[in-house]
A and B are shown apart, each in its own frame.
Chain A
Amino acid sequence: MRASDINRVLDFVRDAFNEASRLWWRFFDWVAVVEWRQLLLTWFFVLVFFGLAGMDGAGIWYVFISAAVKVLAGGKRKAELMARDATAQANVATLERRLMEARMAALQAQVEPHFLFNTLALIGQLIETDPPQAARVHAHLIDYLRSTLPQMRQRGGATLGKQVELSRAYLAIMQARMKERLQVRFDVPDFLGSAPFPPMMLQTLIENAIKHGLEPKIAGGTVAVRAHVVGADLHVAVCDDGVGIDPHADDGVGLANIRERLQLLYGGDAALDITTPPAGGACATIRLPYKMMEAA
């Protein structure tokens, strides 16, 4: 025989074996869950049928095997099957709950009270000492709230350009507060402005960079936002040169929410990667399929 024939035979044997084992387990599961009364009924029919066909042996074997399975493994297998059903139902329920939660969290106002109070305090102070600066910070705050509060969020805000604009407003406010402790760098080509990008993700990454990276650092540092196209993907990175990430610190609801929403929106085609460069600090990069325009 040639090698291909041997392979064909092996394939056939494997298929036959798989099929036989599948049928066996189906039979096993059926025996495990079926009522004793019904099982006795099938014994009667099988014995009569094979008896008439002159194959008493087969009927007796059937009775013997099914009785043995029922007695020895039936209870346990039944419990397993019920547990599996329960798990499957629980999985569906969990998935639905996660979907709902992710949507809710994205919809809810993500303005931190701390940020709002501090900014209002700053404006109040600037009104007395530097009114033109007070007006600028005030305008930035309005821009920020307009795109952050769900009630105010306009449609069509889900482009990279809009998200960058919102982030600039936020960073301008933070610069007014942190002064020379916060430097900002944007490296986002104009042509990427129209690319679709989910709302509030860039914002969350920038807030994290400041809150966990730069605010705890006495000297402060730089937040750099960079967007570029790699192959068919759009990469948007937020990097800081702050204190880095404590491996024992919870990653918080912000990052978990971004991952969840990327998963819901793009399946496996998008990801959030966190790295710590050798020079220190932290980089968070969102990768998602690049499109030039929002679908109509």
Chain B
Amino acid sequence: MNPSLHGRPATALIADDEAPMRDLLRARLASVWPDLTIVAEAANGVEAVELGERHRPDIAFLDIRMPGLSGIEAAQRLYARSHIVFATAYDQYALDAFEQGALDYLLKPVSAERLATTCARLKARLSAPAPASASTSALAAPPQDIGRQLAQLTSLLEQRGKPDKPAYLRWIQAQVGANLRMVSTKEILFFQSDEKYTRVQTAGTEYLIRKTLKELLDELDPDEFWRIHRSTLVRVDAIAEVRRDLRGRQMLRVRGHTEELEVSRNHGYLFQQM
């Protein structure tokens, strides 16, 4: 199949989770490129892939931020058959990536001039005769190139939220009545194991959870919580002071709570700077 402007009108898919944005793009395309047939409109990434695979449009206009699958994820499934044009309102990271690569993109709200330029380029690519040696693809750049760029873009956008740390546990779930209380680790002063349960202490409340201290130790950020005793994990930011009692034991006090926590000999090294 060699999509061409000469045989039949070109086809396109529009995917955006916001209906007004789809309306705008459709209206603009109708005036800039009257021959283009919009074969399908999708309201999320999953639908975009589904409709894209069913209708095999020449062009797929994909919003980047969509529920289900992002536009970039959807593009990875569709780029072999359809020419991809991304649309975004504000996303500096993505824009930088687009500028470096050969991917097409539109800034929302889509202006008529910019869309006209993009459409002219799309028309040129679609009507260009496919190189004899190449596959049936209508793309100017080889598909593996586009695929590589999409993969780079995906990892770039994924990394940005969480820079270099692995995903540590940030919320502790504690049953309170019928509801599950989500306790942010930033609120927690210390964990203490209490037979079958683990006691979770915040400034104002105490919760009991079923997770063992060992499990917590594996899942929490080791820079956020220190183990100071076989049965105690303490939030580093909450430590107020460490002192020695009459028996020479190190006792630790946290801000926002009166209880003193024993530091066992094995962990005493934590507090022996100087």
Measured CB to CB, the residues of A under 8 A from B are 21, 79-80, 82-84, 87-88, 91, 113-114, 116-118, 120-122, 124-126, 128-129, 176-179, 181, 215-218, 245-251, 255-256, 259, 268, 271, 273-278, 282-283
Query: CB within 8 A of A178: which of B18, B169, B203?
Result: B18
Q: Are B89 and A114 in contact (CB under 8 A)?
A: yes
The 8 closest A-B pairs by CB, nearest first: A121-B109, A125-B24, A117-B90, A274-B182, A248-B167, A275-B179, A124-B109, A117-B89
The interface size of chain B toward A, counting residues with CB under 8 Å, comes to 49
Known contacts A124-B109, A248-B169; A91 and B90 CB within 8 A of each other: no
**B18 adjacent to A275 (CB under 8 Å):** no
- Pairwise interchain contact A250-B170, C-beta atoms closer than 8 A: yes
Cβ distance B239 to chain A, nearest Cβ, rounded Å: 8
CA distance in complex: A127, B55 (Å): 32
22 CB < 8 A contacts A-B: A21-B246, A113-B90, A118-B18, A118-B108, A121-B24, A122-B21, A125-B21, A126-B20, A129-B27, A176-B20, A179-B19, A216-B67, A218-B67, A249-B170, A251-B171, A256-B186, A271-B204, A273-B181, A274-B171, A274-B181, A274-B184, A276-B182
- Tell me the bound Cα distance from A190 to B64 in angstroms: 41
Q: How far is the CB of A119 from chain B (nearest CB, A)?
A: 9
B35 close to A (CB within 8 Å):
no
Contact between B171 and A247, CB atoms less than 8 A apart: yes
B132 located at the interface, meaning its Cβ lies under 8 Å from any Cβ of chain A in the complex: no
Distance between Cα atoms of A121 and B273 in the complex (Å): 57
A122-B109, A248-B168 given; 9 more Cβ-contact pairs under 8 Å: A113-B90, A121-B109, A124-B109, A125-B21, A179-B18, A215-B17, A249-B171, A251-B184, A278-B179
Known A-B contacts A83-B273, A91-B255, A250-B162; the reply to A128 vs B90 at CB < 8 A is no
Do residues B108 and A121 form an inter-chain contact, with CB atoms below 8 A? yes
Contact status of A245 and B21, CB under 8 A, knowing A218-B67, A271-B204: no
Chain A residues, Cβ within 8 Å of B134? none
- Contact indicator B243/A245 (Cβ below 8 Å): no
- Which A residues touch B137, using CB under 8 A? none
Structural contact, A275 and B180, CB atoms closer than 8 A: yes
B89 touches A129 (CB 8 A): no
Distance between Cα atoms of A121 and B243 in the complex (Å): 60
Question: What's the nearest-Cβ distance from chain A to residue B252, in Å?
Answer: 11
Residues on B lying within 8 angstroms of A by beta carbon are 17-21, 23-24, 27, 43-44, 46, 65, 67-68, 89-91, 108-109, 162, 167-173, 176, 178-184, 186-187, 203-204, 240-244, 246, 255, 271, 273-274
Which residues of B are found within 8 Å of A246, using beta-carbon distances? 171
Could you say which of B21, B27, B68, B171 has the most chain A C-beta atoms within 10 Å of its C-beta? Answer: B171
Closest residue of chain A to B183, judged by CB? A274
Complex alpha-carbon distance, A273 and B24, angstroms:
41
A218-B44 CB under 8 A given contacts A83-B274, A91-B255: yes
Kindly provide the distance from the CB of A75 to the nearest chain B CB, expressed in whole angstroms.
10
